[in-house]
Chain A
Amino acid sequence: MLTISDLQANIGEKQILKGINLTVKAGEVHAIMGPNGSGKSTLASVLAGREDYDVTGGSVDFEGKDLLDMAAEVRAAEGIFLAFQYPVEIPGVSTTNFLKTAMNEIRKYRGQDSLDAVQFLRLMKEKMKLVNIDQSLLSRALNEGFSGGEKKRNEIFQMAMLEPKLAILDETDSGLDIDALRIVAEGVNALRSPERATILVTHYQRLLDYIVPDYVHVLYKGRIVKSGPKELAFELEEKGYDWIKAEVEEAGV
């Protein structure tokens, strides 16, 4: 589904991604872990199409197409979804109105008819239950004055509505209590299917108790320095990142 090859990206003069290689197949869940400042959010943003970053090398293939060549909205229409680490407040635009616009734009891109009001509401009701989110929240301006947990849940709600092929969750778990975490995990697991894939950027192993990954990668200083099965996450939880950092230094990178 997704093949990232030697991806390099700068912000200004500063190189942040220094050659990322990662292959994600349909049906898989990949966890990306790593110390703060490693470039996890940068990778997520570059995949979603944020233009603040200059891609200086490498390529990203998404279902046979050149992802880096697409505008952010086209990527969304092609099936990429990024749950933001810091969801943005959109003053004056309700979640409902926002999502209706987004869904219908995506449908237009795919040559499908727009959803009418009834179809849209029915879908919303169904997904609201899934992430246990309240109607009143969805009528308010998107993310404006939402608590941290509400913002994260709203991200998952949007994901559930848009049903992406590839969901990228950037630290959706941080700052959540255990109940909220469980809800987020349920939302993600509900979307798990042989046609879809998920990249989970996380700091903590605890999310992985609920969403069991197929692979765990460690991103450090702009590179994936270690990959392994889900057990790698336990090891990281236990031993921290120092041993990995040491390994990297030893290798003399």
Chain B
Amino acid sequence: MTNQPQENSPVSTFRDRLLAGFRASEERMNGETKSPLHQVRRAALQTFETLGFPTVKHEEWKYSNVTSLINKAYELEQPSSITADDLAPLQIPNLSGNILYFVNGQYRADLSRIVSPTSEVQILPFREALTEQSEAVGAYFSRIADFQDNAFTALNTAFAFDGVFIRVPDGKTVTEPIILRFITDARSNSVAAQPRNLIIVGRNAEVKIVESYRTLGDEASFTNAVTEVVVARDARVEYYKVQNDTDQSYHIGTTQVRQSDNSLFYSATVTLNGGFVRNNLNIVLDGEHCEAHMYGLYIPNGKQHVDNHTLVDHAKPNSYSNELYKGILEERSTGVFNGKIYVRPDAQKTNAYQSCKNVVLSPDATMNTKPQLEIYADDVKCSHGTTTGKLNEEALFYMRSRGIPQEQAKTLLMFAFAEDVMTKIKIDPIREYLEGVVAQKLAM
């Protein structure tokens, strides 16, 4: 057994670091370790210890190998000297609204601005909400996002200290969007951060939320994010997740949504860049006459890997879900789309649509798609379709025959393909900014 230490060491390093980090955080807590919320963390840690990091033998992780992710020595609590000047290049022109910065997991009030009045929405760092909104946190924390069979959600739950708490009271419309910018400062070290967000949208309330992820610097970053979203009856939520990250970044994120009667959840997940990305978007339609829209776009190149897992769980009758994900894969990149639709026996008159379309531009790029429909009700309308193809050569020749050079014709075609999803982003400055990034990336 001469190779045993080698086999164990790198993987156990990160795991050991995490376990030690957990103990260290407990030591700083004093009496608070007795709180019910902390018992949840402990249980989650135990689940994580039992499950361990998933391997490709795990059906849900078949195409997404986390070995190199967990093989790095991340700092768990890396202080950052980032200033507003460092963030200036990341500003989105003309964007108004609430803009919150989290750096290496920590909320940075000095960099953030909250413009909406508290009568419209309460926006708090998660850590403060634990005491100031303990009732709401107690009612929903970890009750939306189950960690029982998901090591990363368990891990995030064990370390649930930082992130955002957003609560929109009944009947309120939050006029300004809430932009959450999770920045990892990996300029000097590899850094891990685990944001935990809880978003509670009251009855007949309305809000627009953006999560964006970005690493600064060339060292590795690992973000393990969990966002829980409670959408009360008649509420309307727009939710965008935007990733334009470095090739050294690893991102695993779960957005878990629960909708009640007559509510609307409208989402777009746009992955422009990122070394390794796994997005889980899980929506439980736990009410009648709900609507869920899920749009996605990913355009990996180089050796980037983007995996989108979505789940729509129709638990009650008369609801509607619609999903469109599109991908453009270049060079040696890989993509995964796994879309599950459950229609429970109760959920008669469900309408559920799913479509995933991909263009693979290089023979070295691969796309794996797996739609999974499990329908237990008989009076439903469901459709799904996935296509993965090459660039349309006929269209390309047509364009060239009109004088448009080959590379530009490709870019035009691909941009139009991406626009299908980009136009779903209803916050204009963000859409325009992202269109610029897409155009630049697709310009060959």
Chain A residues proximal to chain B, CB less than 8 Å: 48-51, 71-73, 75-77, 81-82, 84, 87-93, 98-99, 101-103, 105-106, 109, 141, 158, 162
Contact = CB atoms under 8 A, between A and B. Distances in A.
Given A93-B416, A105-B408, A88 B402 contact: no
Given A81-B401, A98-B402, 4 more contacts: A49-B401, A92-B416, A98-B412, A158-B402
A78 B79 CA distance: 62
Given A91-B417, A92-B416, A93-B413, A50 B405 contact: no
Closest 4 CB pairs of A and B: A92-B416, A76-B403, A72-B400, A88-B398
Contacts of B404: 73, 98, 101-102, 105
A197 to B, nearest CB: 17
A88 B394 contact: yes
B90 to A, nearest CB: 29
B375 interface: no
A48 B401 contact: yes
Given A93-B416, A101-B408, A101-B412, A162 B398 contact: no
B115 interface: no
Given A71-B406, A88-B394, A88-B395, A76 B400 contact: yes
B397 interface: yes
A48 B409 CA distance: 16
Given A73-B406, A105-B404, A92 B417 contact: yes
A141 B415 CA distance: 13
Q: Which of B401, B403, B415, B416 is packed against the most chain A CB atoms within 10 Å?
A: B403
Contacts of A49: 400-401
20 contacts: A71-B405, A72-B397, A72-B401, A73-B403, A75-B401, A76-B401, A76-B402, A76-B403, A84-B401, A90-B395, A90-B399, A92-B415, A92-B419, A92-B420, A93-B413, A98-B402, A101-B408, A105-B405, A162-B402, A162-B403
B403 A105 contact: yes
Nearest to A83: B401
B343 to A, nearest CB: 31
A48 B401 CA distance: 6
Interface residues of B, number: 22
Contact of B400 (A71, A84, A92, A109): A71
A141 to B, nearest CB: 8
Given A101-B408, A101-B412, A105-B408, A90 B398 contact: yes
Nearest to A106: B403
A48 B397 CA distance: 9
Contacts of B402: 76, 81, 98-99, 102, 158, 162
A109 B404 CA distance: 10
A50 B403 contact: no
Contacts of A51: 397
Contacts of B405: 71, 73, 105
A89 B405 CA distance: 18
A93 B400 contact: no
A205 B112 CA distance: 74
B403 A102 contact: yes
Nearest to B412: A93
A106 B416 CA distance: 21
B403 A77 contact: yes
A54 to B, nearest CB: 15
Nearest to A97: B412
Contacts of A102: 399, 402-404
A169 to B, nearest CB: 13
A50 B406 contact: no
B397 A50 contact: yes
Q: Which of A48, A73, A81, A158 is packed against the most chain B CB atoms within 10 Å?
A: A73
A93 B413 CA distance: 7
A91 B403 contact: no
Contacts of B406: 71, 73
Interface string B402-435: 1111101100110111011000000000000000
Q: Which of B398, B401, B402, B415 is packed against the most chain A CB atoms within 10 Å?
A: B402
Nearest to B420: A92
B398 A84 contact: yes
A102 B406 CA distance: 11
A244 to B, nearest CB: 31
Contacts of B398: 84, 87-88, 90
A128 B415 CA distance: 27
B401 A109 contact: no
A167 to B, nearest CB: 12
A56 B379 CA distance: 60
Nearest to B423: A92
Contacts of A50: 397, 401
A2 to B, nearest CB: 16
B403 to A, nearest CB: 4
Contacts of A88: 392, 394-395, 397-398
A141 B399 CA distance: 13
A91 B399 CA distance: 12
Contacts of B400: 49, 71-73, 76
Nearest to B402: A102
Contacts of A105: 403-405, 408
A88 B395 CA distance: 6
A49 B404 CA distance: 13
A77 B394 CA distance: 19
Nearest to B414: A92
A237 B398 CA distance: 32
A89 B395 contact: yes
A152 to B, nearest CB: 14
B401 A90 contact: no
A231 to B, nearest CB: 33
B395 to A, nearest CB: 5
Q: Which of A91, A92, A141 is packed against the most chain B CB atoms within 10 Å?
A: A92
Contacts of A91: 416-417
A20 B395 CA distance: 27
A98 B403 contact: no
A55 B405 CA distance: 21
A105 B419 CA distance: 22
